[in-house]
Amino acid sequence: MKSEMDRREFIKASVMAGAVAAFGLFSPAAGFGKGGKEMMTIKAKPVTSGVAEGEALVSRMPISFTGGMDPSTGVIREPGHDLEGQSVAGKILVFPNGKGSTTGCWQYYAAYKRGVAPVGIINVMAEGVVVVGAIIAHTPMVQQMERNPLECIKTGDHVKIDADKGLVFVTPAS
């Protein structure tokens, strides 16, 4: 009887571990990220190709690269924006979608040429102007993650985008 109970507990634990991995939660396959912290692996739809990693900068508001970001500094300058005054330079920029003028892709490219653009982009739903900017600036970009990036990624987390494989790796900052 004792061995039957042990067998049931083993099966139950195995099923739970499989479910956790299947839903992109703390995946046992992903292991540990920076600083030995547990890392989430989340599937996403690639928009562009490439791999980028860095510190996340998360906004719950759409971003316009025309007028909303200074292409000389990479600082968000849109009054009232939740990232107003913060630099996107070298960050993994996480935001719902782009907005604004079709010249935004060129403003993004200008920031890229000056070295003040994000190194990667995660959108809830990609929008054409941001996509074109990411393409011409060779910025890895993904969208439509299995989990809402605005809920599972926080500013300061370490994020790696592997757009070639359609994966995002998130190591919480704290």
State the sign of the Cα–Cα–Cα–Cα dihedral 33, 34, 40, 46: negative
Let me know if 101 is a catalytic residue: yes
Distance, in Å, from the CA atom of 84 to the CA atom of 167, rounded to the nearest integer, reads: 29
CB 97 within 8 A of CB 143: no
End-to-end Cα distance, the chain:
44
Q: Give residue for tokens 């906004």.
A: 59
Pick the catalytic residue: 27, 59, 72, 101?
Answer: 101
Distance, in Å, from the CA atom of 150 to the CA atom of 94, rounded to the nearest integer, reads: 7
Kindly give, in sequence order, each residue whose CB lies less than 8 Å from that of residue 18, ignoring residues fewer than 6 positions away.
Answer: none
Q: Which residues are catalytic?
A: 101
